[in-house]
Amino acid sequence: MAMGPQPQTAGPAVGDVAPDFTLRRTFDESVDLGRLRADGPVLVHFYVFDFGGI
């Protein structure tokens, strides 16, 4: 089944507030954006796994 062009969606703008979310730091430890934000400004940066082969 061929897929046509996908509609463009606007991404977040610089300075937009990210929604609260929780991610795993390790198997038994999580990081919650809301808790980090309570301590002051937070920069969220995602990167490809170091040995992911991409």
Tens of pLDDT, residue by residue over 39-50, are 998 888 877 677
Which amino acid would we find at residue 54?
I
Helices marked H in the chain: 33-38
**Average pLDDT for residues 29-40, to the nearest whole number?**
92
Residue 12, domain member (yes or no): no
Residue 14, domain member (yes or no): no
Residue 40, domain member (yes or no): yes
Residue 36, domain member (yes or no): yes
What's the structural domain count of the chain?
1
Cα torsion 26, 16, 41, 37 to 10°: value is -50
Q: Residues 13, 1: contact at Cβ < 8 Å?
A: no
For residues 21 and 30, what is the distance between their CA atoms, to the nearest angstrom?
A: 10
Residue 38, domain member (yes or no): yes
Q: Where are the beta strands (DSSP E) in the chain?
A: 22-26, 29-32
- For 37, the domain range is 20-49
Residue 30, domain member (yes or no): yes
Quick check: 7 pLDDT over 70?
yes
Tokens describing residue 46: 């995602």
